Each structure stands twice: as C-alpha cells, then as structure tokens.
Amino acid sequence: MAALVLRIKFPPTYPLIYKTLRVDANFTVAEAVKYIADAVNVQNLLAGSEGLFVPDEKKWLDDDQPLSSYESLQDVEHIEFRDKKDKPGPSPSDKEERCCTII
C-alpha cells in the first residue's frame, strides 16, 4: 500500500482546524473524503458534496481520480476538505487581503 501523508485543513464549522493523516494513495478522491471523515469522526457533518481542494493550485481534485494521479500532493503545504458548493468563492486560505470599511 502506497500512502500519502496529507495535512488537511477543515472548514471553520468543524471541530478541528488541521489534521495530518496517512491516506492510501490508491484511494479515489471520493474514497479519501469518506476515509478522512471517518478518521476524524465528522461523518455527521457531511453535506454529501465535500471534496478536496488544493489552494496552491486553486483547483478541485476530481472525485473519480486516484490520489496517486496527483503528483503535486506530496509537495503542497496542505489540502482543504470542504464543500464543493463553496467553489465560486475564494479559498479561505487565499492570502489576498480581506478587509471591510470601519466607520
């Protein structure tokens, strides 16, 4: 079994922020999402549309592709476990400045 060690960032509504897990590289992205949810005991928080997002590349991983097909996963700082419905908005890890007007 080839394994990837992934640092995973979770949404703010989850009970943890980051978790480093060893994940089977032969898992498809969909299988990895289920495995990650089981490993950190957040199955009850799943909306059914979660996926894995690579903020360094600003791209979603395809559900039916094995993790091993993404060579860059070994080099990224972290990946994000989040709802694909968040797709249009910026990644929470984007380094762009966010501010508001304070009056």
Distance CA 10, CA 19 (A): 8
pLDDT score for 43: 79
- State the DSSP string of 19-74: EEEEEETTSBHHHHHHHHHHHTT-GGG--S-EEEEETTTTEEPPTTSBGGG-GGGG
Confidence category of residue 33, pLDDT binned at 50, 70, 90? very high
Q: Exposed, middle or buried by CB within 10 Å (0-12, 13-18, 19+), for 89? A: exposed
Question: Is the model's pLDDT at 93 over the cut of 80?
Answer: no
Q: Note the pLDDT tens digit of each residue in 5-30.
A: 999 999 888 888 999 999 999 999 99
